Structure 1
Amino acid sequence: MTGETEPGAKVEVRDPGTGEVVCETVADENGVFSCGPVDDGSFEVVVIDEAGNESDPLPVTVDTTVPEAPTAVAVGDSVEGSAEPGTTVEIRDAETGEVVCSVVADENGQFSCGPVGDGNYDVVAIDPAGNESAPSPVTVDTVAPEAPSVDHTDGNGVSGTGEPGSKITVKDEDGNVLCESIVDADGNFTCEISPTVPDGTLLQVISTDEAGNESITWVRVGGPAIALSANEVRPTEQLTITGTGFLPEETVSAEVHSQPVSLGSAAADAEGTVVFTFDVPADFALGAHTALLNGAQSGQVSAEFTVVAPDQPLPTPEHPQVPKAEERASLPITGGQISGLLLAAGALMVGGLLLLRRRAKEQEETTA
């Protein structure tokens, strides 16, 4: 025990139960004294002057027992845990020893101290006697890992890249855990889903680092798709471009190549559908072109279409119309038709005369 009192006075350390003097000494010329060692316990310290006058006893507790090291975890930007009730808990910079936060553990030994910046710390507990526990290391990390990059999935599993060592948890839209995996040292992961989930299902792919920070990437099974209203269009016609399988509210931009034309961007609806229209300019190049949809999270899909030349109207053929028999019977006889009939009648008459002459000659030869 050390302390100060009247210079030259006698100092006695007594057991309060028995009055036994367990240690005695004399204060020096400056009144400073030191007495010990004594065992752990409760004592009374009295001062006796040269005349034998005795002071009132001063109670003192000797405690040389080091408190147990506290348990400590980082929760966000604070440090929480448990220690010996009533001890002072200090959060110290692991490199410099600077105390960045301190607090007294409550009657249940619980404590919370913060905020503190990201970094490595030692957490120590100090009891009222000044005994200090061994340090408990803790790392405060409030930086979430990068959101995992996820390949398109067919529902059998999820693969991609993430922060090495982080835990990957795949959940459905309702939060049901479908599979778990650990990102390897190269940053790759594969998480097999069983049973498989159907196309169109929304999945949460969650990356959790050692500090408990999380980042989430959403992916739709089957990925996005694109459909065109026609495979061939002509200048001045309109082409409808429909995207499906994007994430709800995902921003999707649309373009037409090979003459780059931006069709702007739009948010996919709750079902992951987005629609754009393209009015083909009158002077748009003929030939093959590509429609592209690019989702901010889901990536790009494309489809080809062809711009063809406008239709050329064909001339109407002037084929003679042959009337039906009943129509011919009722048609009026024109001058041209009369001439034809007369010529035909004349020919018949000539032919008939020739035939009669030939028969008369044959009869004469027979008679002779």
Structure 2
Amino acid sequence: MPSPSPPQLDGEALSVVQADRAGNVSAPVGLLAPDTTAPDAPTATISGDGSIATGTGAPGATVSVTNAAGIVIGTAIVAEDRSYTAALSPAQANGERLGVTQADAAGNVSVSTGVTAPDITAPAAPVAMLDASGSVVMGTGEPGATLTVRDAFGTPLGTAIVTAQGDYSVTLATPQIDRQTLSVSQADAAGNPSPATTLTAADLTAPAAPLATVAPDGLTLTGTGEAGATVTVRDPLGRVVGQAVVQGDGTYTVPLDPAQTNGEVLGVDQRDVAGNGSPIVTAIAPDLVADTTPDAPSAAVDPDGAAVAGTANASAAIIVYDAVGTIIGTGVAGPDGSYRVALVPARIDGETVRVTQTDADGDVSPPATAVAPDLTAPAVPTATLDVTGSVITGTGEPGATITIRAADTTSLGTAIVGANGAYAVTLTPAQTDGQTLAATQADAAGNVSTPIVLVAPDYTAPPARRHDRTGRQHGDGDRRAGCDRDDPSRCRHPGHRAGGRGWQLHRAAEPCAGQW
């Protein structure tokens, strides 16, 4: 049987005749060739609203549109003019990747044409929280979106790109610590903005010092302050002698118990409803007592914190108090006026110590104030590394300096612990390769805490693995790793014994380059 040349595989119409030896030709017989040839890939375009796919194909072919999961979301028959229109259900309007094929009447399917749907869909509002220091906004969003934090006036305070894992952190240009309202939104790669997530900053701002005056009879103290704040009055030894809440009009009256009538210097402060304390202001009580008050003695705490010493009137009784007016030691000045009172336990953490002297008539001096040495390291801070590897937040000793160091002791960032004990450190660079980090805090005296150790997330792909002809290089890792000379199909790396070679062996995915 003769074979057609070239082969006919696309449904071609053929005719067959036969001729005898005399050259007589029969009438033709018609037949069709089989159709096993797939049509060309169709052209495809998605409409601006994502509801239809249009393009060109082979007349009579069936066009199918599939989503990334391979599910058919639209079909159409190609018209005689080679055009088609396929309605998509559901509409594709979020940058989806689609595939478009056509199948002819014989069921042959073309190669797929890839096409991207328009992105006109706004992302959801991001998840957002403000850290306790008011310095960092962190949360989750749409990978690749641009996250923006704005103040109540719409002014941007910081931006970040959401990571491939869907996380972000934004270090604010100005910490938000006074109940400010913030909005957090994200815009995808097509520029579609999300609804905003609203945050309210914590109140970490201390009120101003109150105004304070002691009444002429020493029974009350009055003044002005922040509405709702609590005013506290302390005597010269630090003991609380009265409290009151500031009224809505900003005024307050504090009853004093006991009455302050001997010219005492009182300390007055206010603490707002969020717990922020103001600076201390002094108020002087009237002097209504007919006595001769001795002067305050001199006082200094020994360098080791074990005693307080100074000079007073000869034979005066010495009383030592802590910062809140509790007696912690007593003594008597010598004939030359010198005294030394042991402190048990020793004061070695910057404590305030107050000392008074009492003369033979029982008259008590104002206190002298001395500060103990600070030889005590602060406690280990708390520390948490956010999932982006770019910010560490935690708590420490107010006023201490937090330092984050890499394994080689390089500093990656520092911060001062706020009055509320919170801090945030932005790392430079971000740590995303499983690095080991250490966080310490140092107080004002330079005492450094024990470190807390953190491990960074690992989002970094390992380097490509290489095999050279010498068997001395395996990827970008250990220089001793490579292909086993006795069997080039086996890779090896040090660390475990195998076959007496001191190597861990495994089969290479492909032969080592250059081996023979």
Q: Comparing both structures, which one devotes a greater share of its residues to strand?
A: 1
Computing the radius of gyration from Cα coordinates, the structure with the larger value is 1
**Larger RCO: 1 or 2 (CA < 8 Å, sep 6+):** 1
Please report the TM-score for the alignment, with normalisation by the length of structure 1.
0.39
Please report the TM-score for the alignment, with normalisation by the length of structure 2.
0.30
